[in-house]
């Protein structure tokens, strides 16, 4: 019987995992084909690489989908309406901080760091899934604040998008803290501090957060 092609000398599933770590650490543009071939093991040749994955872009897409269905699930609790809204936000923040600081993979969040290592304009499409994931998390934060308002846990003077931006901005910043090896205990303590935003608003029915219409014509965002 004729031999049906040369058997692969690497485990494809493990190769995708290793490639995900490289993209997570360095970003799309900064991760070269040479790095990928070395990181995937087995001395994979360029023809074998393309036969296995199609292209660097296709491999990146596969790695992003793996990340979104595994590590990124730490914020899906924002959409769990069985959780009290404040608890959902706290759970998302603490779970994400724990994931971003743990060993065994690059520090930080691939979804957030994809912005900081944004692809060149000609490759911008590859970041679309990461952008959509950030938008989903942001929308989840808004949904939690809106649930809190509807439930009477927050005053109806709260501007939901503004309060959600406080939590979302903190979450994005955790990636930098994790990359700088800030102790998780310090980040957890900071999460307790940021949640006081909710607690203080809940105790003060007169609290009002401004929306865009409140800015004077000459005001600029900082």
Residues 171-193 have pLDDT tens digits of 999 999 999 999 999 999 999 99
* Residue-number span of the structural domain to which 53 is assigned: 12-66
**What is the C-alpha radius of gyration for the chain, rounded to an integer number of angstroms?**
21
Query: Is residue 48 located within the same domain as residue 79?
Result: no
Nearest alpha carbon to residue 165 among 137, 207, 129, 196: 137
Query: Is residue 112 located within the same domain as residue 197?
Result: yes
Supply the pLDDT for residue 155. Answer: 95
Residue 118: CATH number of its domain: 1.10.357.10
Token pair for 41: 């093991």
The last residue of one of the domains, among 66, 86, 101, is 66
Residue 35: CATH number of its domain: 1.10.10.60
CA 163 → CA 86, 91, 95, 112, 134, distances in Å?
Answer: 12, 17, 20, 20, 16
Task: Indicate whether 4 pLDDT > 60.
Answer: no
Query: Is residue 180 located within the same domain as residue 80?
Result: yes
Q: Does residue 218 belong to any structural domain of this protein?
A: no
Q: Does residue 222 belong to any structural domain of this protein?
A: no
Q: Does residue 221 belong to any structural domain of this protein?
A: no
Q: Does residue 34 belong to any structural domain of this protein?
A: yes
Task: Indicate whether 214 pLDDT > 80.
Answer: no
pLDDT in tens, 5-51: 444 556 888 899 999 999 999 988 888 888 888 888 666 788 888 88
User: How many whole angstroms separate alpha carbon 115 and alpha carbon 134?
Assistant: 10
CB-based contact 144:192 (threshold 8 Å) = no
CA 88 → CA 36, 58, 92, 148, distances in Å?
Answer: 37, 34, 6, 11
DSSP run (H or E) holding 87 = helix 85-101
> Nearest 5°: CA angle at 73, between 128 and 83?
125
The count of domains in the chain is 2
Q: How many residues does the structure list for the chain?
A: 222
CB-based contact 165:209 (threshold 8 Å) = no
Query: Is residue 112 located within the same domain as residue 171?
Result: yes
pLDDT in tens, 129-177: 999 999 999 999 999 999 999 999 999 999 999 999 999 999 999 999 9
User: How many whole angstroms separate alpha carbon 129 and alpha carbon 153?
Assistant: 33
Query: Is residue 38 located within the same domain as residue 128?
Result: no
Token pair for 71: 């590590």
Supply the pLDDT for residue 114. Answer: 75
b/e burial code for range 156-179 (CB count within 10 A of at least 16 → b):
eebbbbbbbbbbbebbbebbbbbb
Q: Does residue 168 belong to any structural domain of this protein?
A: yes
Query: Is residue 39 located within the same domain as residue 78?
Result: no
């Amino acid at each position: 019987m004729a031999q049906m092609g040369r058997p692969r000398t690497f485990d494809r599933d493990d190769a995708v995992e290793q490639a995900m770590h490289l993209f997570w650490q360095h970003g799309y543009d900064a991760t070269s084909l040479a790095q990928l071939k070395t990181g995937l093991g087995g001395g994979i040749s360029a023809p074998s690489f393309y036969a296995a994955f199609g292209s660097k872009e296709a491999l990146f897409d596969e790695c992003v989908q793996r990340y979104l269905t595994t590590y990124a699930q730490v914020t899906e609790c924002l959409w769990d309406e069985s959780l009290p809204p404040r608890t959902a936000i706290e759970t998302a923040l603490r779970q994400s901080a724990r994931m971003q600081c743990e060993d065994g993979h690059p520090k930080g969040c691939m979804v957030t760091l994809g912005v900081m290592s944004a692809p060149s304009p000609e490759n911008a499409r590859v970041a679309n899934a990461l952008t959509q994931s950030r938008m989903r998390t942001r929308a989840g934060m808004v949904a939690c604040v809106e649930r809190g308002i509807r439930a009477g846990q927050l005053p109806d003077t709260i501007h939901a998008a503004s309060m959600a931006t406080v939590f979302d901005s903190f979450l994005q910043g955790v990636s930098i803290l994790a990359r700088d090896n800030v102790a998780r205990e310090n980040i957890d303590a900071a999460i307790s501090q940021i949640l006081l935003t909710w607690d203080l608003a809940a105790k003060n029915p007169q609290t009002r957060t401004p929306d865009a219409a409140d800015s004077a014509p000459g005001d600029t965002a900082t």
